[in-house]
Amino acid sequence: MKTIKKAGIGFLILGLTYLGIMFFPTILFAHKIEYKQCTVYSDRNIDAEIYGIIDSALVRMSTSELYDTTQHFRLFLCNDLWRFGFFTQGSTLADAVAQYDLTRNIFFRPCDIPNHKIIPPNEWYFAKNPFSFNDRPLWYYFAHEMTHVMQSRYTGRGSWNYPTWLTEGYADYIGKGGNFNFRENLALWHDRAPELDPSKGLYRLYHLKVYYLMQTKGYNIQAIYQNIPDDAALTAELWNLPVPENEDLK
């Protein structure tokens, strides 16, 4: 009985220690820069290219109705996978994780800041295809994850209350900053291309849905959140669209 009690106390101490580090992660990040609305922490020296990456991310975020200049974001660059896994509960295959249901801190997997790239794991379906990263430089990932934090601030914590296609589709929509060809992606979806299969790791199908609602039907993001369409009905409506001959969809 005493052994069980000691083990329980030990697990409790470990759990509380882990929670403490989750809420105060800076103890594991020795380097920091503050720039505009962002504080960036890293376990290694931060290359000066980070300023341009932040600028590009904020330009994209400023197009969102959820954005305002008073918001602040905390980003943590994990150059060691163990550190990334520690803060993402073992999600070492993720590109980044925004803890928008808890601290709203954002943790990134190893990055190549001078070349504006995320370093993908070999397990990613498109890891060996450089073209899949053309529309996803590092500022895309920054803007994408910070958009999740903006979504959390708008809706409140509780991301499980909202469909994945909306959460990820809108973050992809903002992160790509208009670099999205609706006609081309609709055609790829009709051809059942892997780029439009969310299980392969890209959010293009979700982006397609958000783009359709915002650019074709004229809804803003607040209106979508207030009256979220049924996913099955939206998918059927989108699938039955003829592939337009050009990008003028209205």
More confident residue, 223 or 15: 223
* CA gap 212, 159 in Å, rounded: 22
- pLDDT beyond 80 at 7: no
b/e map of 41-52 (b: 16 or more CB within 10 Å)?
Answer: bbeeebeeebee
Helix-then-strand count for the chain, H and E:
9, 7
* CA gap 64, 51 in Å, rounded: 21
Residue 30 domain flag:
no
User: Out of 5-14, 120-129, 135-144, which region has the weakest mean confidence (pLDDT)?
Assistant: 5-14
Residue 2 domain flag:
no
pLDDT of residue 247: 54
Q: Give percent of the chain above pLDDT 70.
A: 92
Residue 73 domain flag:
no
pLDDT of residue 195: 94
* CA gap 132, 183 in Å, rounded: 18
Confidence of residue 210 (pLDDT cuts 50, 70, 90): very high
Segment 31-52 mean pLDDT: 98
Segment 62-67 mean pLDDT: 97
Segment 59-74 mean pLDDT: 97
Residue 235 domain flag:
yes
Tally of structural domains, the chain: 1
Closest CA to 111 of 80, 143, 146: 80
User: Out of 41-45, 63-67, 125-129, 229-233, which region has the weakest mean confidence (pLDDT)?
Assistant: 125-129
Neighbours of 142 (CB within 10 A): 28
pLDDT of residue 8: 63
State pLDDT tens for residues 146-164: 999 999 999 987 777 899 9
- pLDDT beyond 50 at 217: yes
Segment 52-56 mean pLDDT: 98
pLDDT of residue 248: 52
- pLDDT beyond 50 at 250: no
Closest CA to 194 of 138, 124, 141: 124
Residue 211 domain flag:
yes
Confidence of residue 22 (pLDDT cuts 50, 70, 90): confident
Look up the pTM and report it: 0.91
Q: What secondary structure letter does DSSP report for 216?
A: I
Closest CA to 40 of 69, 67, 70, 77: 77
Confidence of residue 21 (pLDDT cuts 50, 70, 90): confident
What is the rounded average pLDDT for all residues in the chain? 91
Residue 224 domain flag:
yes
Residue 249 domain flag:
yes
Q: Which domain holds residue 214?
A: 162-250
Residue 17 domain flag:
no
**3-class DSSP assignment, residue 137:** coil
Closest CA to 63 of 184, 171, 192: 171
Contact 244, 183 (CB under 8 A): yes
